[in-house]
Amino acid sequence: MISLQRVSHFYSGPCGQKILALEDVNLNIPRGSLTAIVGPNNSGKSTLGQIMVGLLSPSSGQVLIEGLDLAHWDHNLLTRTIGLIFSNPEDQIVFPIVEDDLAFSLESLAMDTLQIEKKVADILKFLDMEEYRHCSIHQLSGGQKQKLAIAAMVIRGLRYLVLDEPISHLDAKGREEVLTLIKSLHQAGGTIIYLAQRFEELVMSDLVVALVSGRVVWQGSFWELLERPEDMAQWGIEVPPIVRLVKILQDKGLAVAHPIYTVDHLVAALEKLKP
């Protein structure tokens, strides 16, 4: 489990003033869960993600991973336990060839060549990208590049993965590919912390956390979130028309039950209302 206890963080402004990024954040992320963290621009999501993986130290408060204060973790062990994926995959890809980039992630783990080759082959099979093993990075699509960046972390055996808006630079096909991969990693037992900006990213979550101006203002399930379309809009999430329509129907007294976020869901709910 990851536990944040009264975590606050300040940046220094250009004139030395303190700029608040996070304030008194308390949050527990269970092992094996998929937690989506939402919030408008400048809400503190990225700062929170960097603090969880040890790239930033909180100004006050504690971050505990499996009961141990992050400040006391051995750096090498920490990088084999938790990792961060940025929104732009090219910020993390190091080598120009697919297999070389994956192998590089393992070279610090004291594995022999045969072990590395097997792990690279296994992860490419899991990604359904075996044919791209010797491919140049620039020949990959945006979705494939992001899948590779994620795989370069996962191949190290991480137990926790923090993703900072990983589909924000992708087209519809790439977004679907990456979300399918993340869902598979979660189903395989991985703990996912997903810093989100799109409604489609929330559907697979166990817990949704809303962050506004550096403070946690709401926590609940995805199904509970569907009942708060006005809040979703304020938290930077574009609310699907179906969710808005359901709220309008309910406000007019029509007994349309949640959860509904697709046309098929709505049609099924309306069918049940037929006399």
Q: Can you give the pLDDT at residue 275? A: 62
Express as a percent the part of the chain with pLDDT over 90. 70
As a whole number, the mean pLDDT across the chain is: 91
Q: Are strands 160-164 and 82-85 parallel, antiparallel or unpaired?
A: parallel
Cis peptide before 259 (omega within 30 of 0): yes
Q: Can you give the pLDDT at residue 258? A: 62
**pLDDT at 123 exceeding the cut of 90:** yes
pLDDT, tens only, 230-261: 899 899 998 888 888 888 888 887 777 667 88
Q: Can you give the pLDDT at residue 69? A: 96
pLDDT, tens only, 154-163: 998 899 999 9
Report, as an integer, the average pLDDT of 42-53. 96
Query: Global pTM?
Result: 0.90
Nearest CA to 35 out of 21, 55, 52, 58 is that of: 52
2-238: CATH class: alpha beta
Q: Quick check: 170 and 178 in contact, CB under 8 A?
A: yes
- DSSP letters spanning 145-179: HHHHHHHHHHTTT-SEEEEESTTTT--HHHHHHHH
Express as a percent the part of the chain with pLDDT over 70. 99
**pLDDT at 108 exceeding the cut of 80:** no
- Collect contacts of 94-100 with beta carbons under 8 A, ≥24 apart: 95/137, 96/136, 96/137, 96/138, 97/134, 97/135, 97/136, 97/137, 98/124, 98/129, 98/132, 98/133, 98/134, 98/135, 98/136, 98/137, 98/140, 98/148, 99/124, 99/133, 99/134
Q: Can you give the pLDDT at residue 141? A: 94
Q: Can you give the pLDDT at residue 1? A: 93
- Give the residue extent of every domain in the chain: 2-238, 240-275
